[in-house]
Chains A and B, each alone.
Chain A
Amino acid sequence: MAISEPPVREMQTRQPVSARRNGRWSGYWHLLMARMRELKREPEVVFWVFVFPLLLALGLGIAFRSKPAAAASIAVVNSANGERPVSALLQPSQQGAFHVQVLEREAALNAFRLGKFDLVVESQGDGGYKYFYDPARPESVLARAQVDDALQAGAGRKDAVFTQSAASSEVGSRYIDFLIPGLLGMNLMNSGMWGVGFALVDMRQRKLLKRFVGTPMRRSDFLLAITSSRLVLMIIEVGLLMSFGVLFFHMRVLGSFWAIALLASLGAVAFGGIGLLTASRAQKIESVSGLINMVMMPMWIFSGVFFSYERFPAVAQPFIKLLPLTALNDALRATILEGAPLLSSAQFGRLLILALWGGISFALALKWFRWT
């Protein structure tokens, strides 16, 4: 049977196009803007990336704030000469170090047992005192020493040596000062891994990656846009957390703005690379979620976010120091808290570790990345 000739038409019947031509970076720019818009319109992202770290810093900062030692609570047993110790303890020179209450013996001991008082003082007939204290409670031991000092001084004991004390609870050595750079590092890791890894697998599962590579889009532009969107978010994250530390906890920042920005960018890019590698093959968001958690879990524990990794055995230390988050946290702490220059040998080593993690991950990810 004869196959009829298909209708012949000219090929140049494309639509008349406006003179507008797209420049080299048009695709990149639109991809970046689309990514930023999507993030902005996703309330969960705003919460987890921006609000959650602030709440964490606030909560932990309040829980572990350095507070002046509380005044010791002392119960004095009511007796004939019960007034004597009380007046000695309330000497103005003691500067309100004690809360004193006079009670019957029974009531005093009962309340002590319940933890209401740190110490019970009972006058003895011979002009001496008897202390009831609990050697297992540090504040009870302390109260006993303080009260004994006060009573001995009140009774006229002279110090054998003249001593002087200077109070020291300096900004920079508190828990919150340790914590904020750690949270910064953790946040850079979290949002790098989720923001890149999860987002890519989600797009792959939705066949959006495949649709994109069906256009003349440059694949490098796409990856660059994802990375840049991380950097933009990073600036906001770091800025928020640092200003929060400075405003709420009077954190003192010794390192320069540029040094911190450079460290944070390196951290964001390194974890972006690790996120990209984690996401290079996975087809389903369920499987990538597991992978991301598996990669991050050791670093949450070992990299010194909430407590110093010096607590782990010495054998483990070299491995812990090779983790990217350890390097980032150490570098951030050295720069923020000590103002260490970036090119000092210790800092340089950390930067190198981060750069290697990021660089190798990126290279492997590009090799293995599955677009369809």
Chain B
Amino acid sequence: MGFAIRCRDLRKTYDGKVEAVRGVSLSIAAGECFGLLGPNGAGKTTTIEILEGLLEPTSGEVEILGHAWSRNSRDLREQIGISLQETRLSEKLSVRETIELFGSFYRQPRPAQDVLEELQLTEKADAWVGKLSGGQKQRLAVATALVGNPKILFLDEPTTGLDPQSRRQLWDIIREFQSRGGTVMLTTHYMDEAEKLCDRLAIVDHGQVIAEGSPAELIAKLGGHHVVEFSASGNSDGSALETWRSLPGVESVRDDAGVISLHVDAPHITIPALLDAVERQHAQILHLTTRQASLEDVFVRLTGRHLRED
């Protein structure tokens, strides 16, 4: 099985003190969609830019399609497509001119018309880049990455700041690329994006990978596929947490400012027991919900913090 991307023990230290990446090792198979999920400042962008050959790591090794960046970098660049977190393309060029410009750098680019159609930009082909909406600009950024007909697509926060419809459009484009056999590496801080799009994920925090696997595996690893959240009157004493933990089927408990989250296997067993326990304490349930566990829960469980603190 060929690995499209491999890196071992990547480290990046800025100005000798800020450690942005602290020992990241990843192996991404050809044809996979791999995501780096983590909060802002976790080191995702630094990691992906090292993999793209745009940043020199302080230490560690990178292999893209079996080659190191130090050799054949021009040949490697022929085979990858990049969309940076924030590139402001020239506003006074039209969409088609921009795609043709990027295509001109590759030995054998795809025809601009094909890319325009695939990215649903045909109608805007002759509009200036400055006149595009946020979603259209982002699709153009991906178009400039696809015009070289790459084997690997690197996308740094491709949907940040987009409306839901534009996000779904981009997801379709990424899936379409993957379905043709392409490998995708993306960063995101949206757990729904990671869950829906990625075959495998690495959860990154403070420059380190703290968990890796498919979304389902990560959620399973958490123990308990369901989350029961409730708050009750008069349950503020510390011993209460022990009570909840001892309920049948509870894997873990977390107190988030008065709202108790229970990770459970079978809510239909846990919830009746929970209601009984509350009654025995002569307390009252103020609020009760149950939902499927998500990557957000995985992240909270692993770090004690939420992905997006806003």
Show the binding face of A for B, using Cβ within 8 Å: 1, 3-15, 17-18, 20-22, 26-27, 29-31, 34, 37-38, 41-42, 206-208, 210-218, 372
Contacts and interface: CB of A to CB of B under 8 A. Distances in A.
Contact of B181 (A10, A18, A30, A213): A10
Interface of B: 1-2, 4, 28-32, 52-55, 74, 77-78, 82, 84, 86-90, 92-93, 97, 100-111, 114, 128, 144, 148-149, 151, 180-182, 199-200, 212-214, 217, 220-221
Ordered nearest first, which 4 A-B pairs have the shortest CB separation?
A13-B181, A9-B31, A30-B104, A206-B88
B107 A7 contact: no
Given A9-B181, A211-B82, A15 B31 contact: no
Contacts of B200: 6
A210 B156 CA distance: 13
A12 B55 CA distance: 28
A208 B114 contact: no
Contact of B110 (A11, A17, A41): A17
Contacts of A214: 52-54, 77, 82, 84
Given A1-B217, A14-B151, A38-B92, A9 B87 contact: no
Given A11-B30, A20-B111, A211-B82, A6 B149 contact: no
B53 to A, nearest CB: 8
A12 B65 CA distance: 12
A199 to B, nearest CB: 10
A6 B88 contact: no
Would you call the interface of chain A mostly helix, strand, loop, or mixed?
loop
A22 B108 contact: yes
A210 B92 contact: no
B112 to A, nearest CB: 11
B101 A210 contact: no
Given A34-B93, A37-B93, A27 B105 contact: yes
A20 B111 CA distance: 8
Contacts of A26: 104-105
Contacts of B107: 21-22, 216
A132 to B, nearest CB: 67
Given A41-B92, A216-B77, A216-B105, A30 B87 contact: no
Given A34-B93, A215-B148, A22 B86 contact: no
Contacts of B82: 211, 214-215
Nearest to B2: A11
A207 B77 CA distance: 18
B58 to A, nearest CB: 16
B102 A7 contact: no
Contacts of B100: 30
Contacts of A207: 84, 86-88
A208 B98 CA distance: 12
Nearest to A216: B77
A114 B99 CA distance: 71
11 contacts: A6-B32, A10-B181, A18-B111, A31-B101, A34-B101, A37-B92, A206-B89, A212-B105, A213-B54, A214-B82, A215-B102
Given A17-B110, A21-B108, A6 B31 contact: yes
Contacts of A29: 104
B92 to A, nearest CB: 4
Contacts of B180: 13-15
A16 B210 CA distance: 40
Contacts of A210: 54, 84, 87
Contact of B149 (A14, A21, A206): A14
Nearest to B89: A208
Contacts of B32: 6-7
Given A6-B31, A30-B104, 17 more contacts: A4-B214, A4-B217, A6-B28, A6-B200, A7-B31, A14-B149, A14-B180, A14-B181, A15-B149, A22-B105, A26-B105, A41-B92, A207-B87, A208-B88, A210-B84, A216-B74, A372-B55
